[in-house]
Amino acid sequence: MAHLESKYVEAPCAPAKPAQSGKAARRSFWGSLLASDTYQAVVNVLLKNERRQFWVLAAFPLAWVFFAHLGPILQMFWISFLDSYPPTAGRQPQFTLSNWIAFFQEAIFVMPFLRTLIYSVVFTTCTLILTYPVAYFLAKHVKRQNQLLFLLLLLIPFWVGEIVRTYAIMIMLGNNGALNLALKWVGLIDRPIPFMYTGFSMGVGIVYLTSLYMLLPLYSALEKIPNSYLEAAADLGAGSWHRFRKVTLPLSKEGVASGCTLVFLISTGYYATPVLLGGPSTTVFAETIAGFFHVAGDKWPIGAAFSSLMLITTLGVTGIFLKLMGRSGKGMMK
């Protein structure tokens, strides 16, 4: 070990020689920063002890999430109980329940609300049925090294925004659209079927927009199921339907639950898609709410009340749904 005789010990970090010049004499940015008195003075105040460090780090995130994330929602609730907003000069807004009561007095309010809920449930179910086999195919039949490629193929369309994809569906379903053309060409119809501006066109659009949010949770849940489970079930003589019912479905439950929750929440929140693809008979609650914000500002409290109602309902529905899934999931485990 010849290297051990190096002069290492005799030259431990010699003090800076003044002769050094140019680049060699320069300190690094961080070194100079740490050496600066101003910085040290600031740091001594900011990072004095663990407790202060925590608060220096925590203050901004806490302020941001409670102000910007929760604030708007709370303010919306608050305004839903005022008789006018934005406040007009010289008049103090009064507390009222009339904005909430207004909802129940008019069928043109109640109907879109119920329609939204029913549509969303139906669309969510359709998305689930459509994407489950796709996710299953991806997770269980595609070779592992190809899965990324297959998944990527599915992802590409989803980077394209809501409006562009809605427009694509309009082209597809129009009276002179591709679907009618195809049907005519096959000879099923003579005259184009008016797909557009119906619940159907809206459904096709929303399923198109949301299917990825179902597919990804399903895929990741299914992918986690070890193949040995299915083989074991087959070994015990379970038929493929039985295997699916008793093994695959219960084990992918978590994916189903989170996929359905996501799709439900997202589909209730669409505005442009129902406007563009739906018709007068398919008005959804988002359009009703938006109506109060197009016109004069004094309708804002009603809009706020309706938004709050919808928020509570959607979160309530998903809450109940998740609870049911959780409970039956435990039941199945036994």
Residue 226 as a binder of other proteins (CB under 8 A): the answer is no
In this chain, which of 45, 118, 149, 178 binds other proteins, going by CB under 8 A? 178
Q: Which of 140, 119, 296, 274 is nearest to 219 (CA)?
A: 140
Binding track, positions 76-95, relative to other proteins; x by CB under 8 A = x--x-----xx---------
Residue 246 as a binder of other proteins (CB under 8 A): the answer is no
Contacts to other proteins from residues 6-65, by CB under 8 A: 6-9, 11-14, 16-17, 20, 23-28, 30-35, 43, 47, 53-54, 57-58, 60-62, 64-65
The C-alpha angle with vertex 125 and arms to 123 and 130, in degrees rounded to 5, equals 95
Long-range own/partner contacts, residues 107-114 (CB < 8 A, 24 or more apart): 108/288, 109/288, 109/306, 111/283, 112/283, 112/284, 112/285, 112/287, 112/288, 113/285, 113/288, 113/306, 113/309, 113/310, 113/313
Residue 263 CA to residue 258 CA, distance in Å, equals: 9
Residue 136 as a binder of other proteins (CB under 8 A): the answer is yes
Q: CB neighbours (10 Å) of residue 68?
A: 9
Residue 133 as a binder of other proteins (CB under 8 A): the answer is yes
Residue 141 as a binder of other proteins (CB under 8 A): the answer is yes
Residue 302 as a binder of other proteins (CB under 8 A): the answer is no
Residue 174 as a binder of other proteins (CB under 8 A): the answer is yes
Per CB under 8 A, the segment of 88-96, 103-111, 153-161, 325-333 that binds other proteins is: 153-161
Report the residue count for the chain. 334
Residue 88 to residues 25, 94, 132, 194, Cα–Cα distance (Å):
66, 12, 53, 47
Q: What is the 3-state secondary structure (H, E, C) of 132-146?
A: HHHHHHHHHHCCHHH
Helix (H, G, I), strand (E, B) or coil at 93: coil
In this chain, which of 138, 216, 251, 256 binds other proteins, going by CB under 8 A? 138
Per CB under 8 A, the segment of 4-12, 99-107, 216-224, 324-332 that binds other proteins is: 4-12
Residue 176 as a binder of other proteins (CB under 8 A): the answer is yes
Per CB under 8 A, the segment of 89-97, 125-133, 217-225, 322-330 that binds other proteins is: 125-133
In this chain, which of 41, 118, 153, 295 binds other proteins, going by CB under 8 A? 153
Q: How far is the CB of 330 from other proteins (least distance, A)?
A: 21
Identify whether the C-beta of residue 233 lies closer than 8 Å to the C-beta of residue 246.
Answer: yes
Q: Which of 308, 162, 322 is nearest to 256 (CA)?
A: 322
Residue 229 as a binder of other proteins (CB under 8 A): the answer is no
In this chain, which of 83, 162, 223, 254 binds other proteins, going by CB under 8 A? 162
Residue 70 CA to residue 60 CA, distance in Å, equals: 14
Q: How far is the CB of 22 from other proteins (least distance, A)?
A: 9
In this chain, which of 45, 75, 114, 224 binds other proteins, going by CB under 8 A? 75
